[in-house]
């Protein structure tokens, strides 16, 4: 087989960097959502 047939093309460093960036953004968004909405909700429920 030719290398082009076995290579998905998604192992290029730019794609890996983009994937890491998107994953980091997702983690930040989830954390900020939990902080900005979860903590006030818990305070409202507990007090």
The rounded distance, in Å, linking the Cα atoms of 26 and 17 is: 14
Asked if the model's pLDDT at residue 39 lies above 70, the reply is: yes
The rounded distance, in Å, linking the Cα atoms of 5 and 24 is: 31
Enter the DSSP assignment of 11: T
Predicted local confidence at residue 12, as pLDDT = 84
Higher pLDDT, residue 14 or 3: 14
Predicted local confidence at residue 40, as pLDDT = 93
Predicted local confidence at residue 24, as pLDDT = 98
Q: Which two tokens stand for residue 14?
A: 């730019």
**Angle subtended at Cα 29 by Cα 41 and Cα 14, rounded to the nearest 5 degrees:** 170
The rounded distance, in Å, linking the Cα atoms of 2 and 12 is: 18
């Amino acid at each position: 087989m030719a290398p082009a047939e076995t290579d998905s093309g998604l192992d290029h460093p730019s794609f890996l960097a983009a994937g890491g960036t998107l994953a980091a953004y997702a983690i930040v968004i989830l954390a900020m959502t939990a902080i900005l909405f979860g903590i006030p909700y818990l305070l409202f429920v507990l007090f």
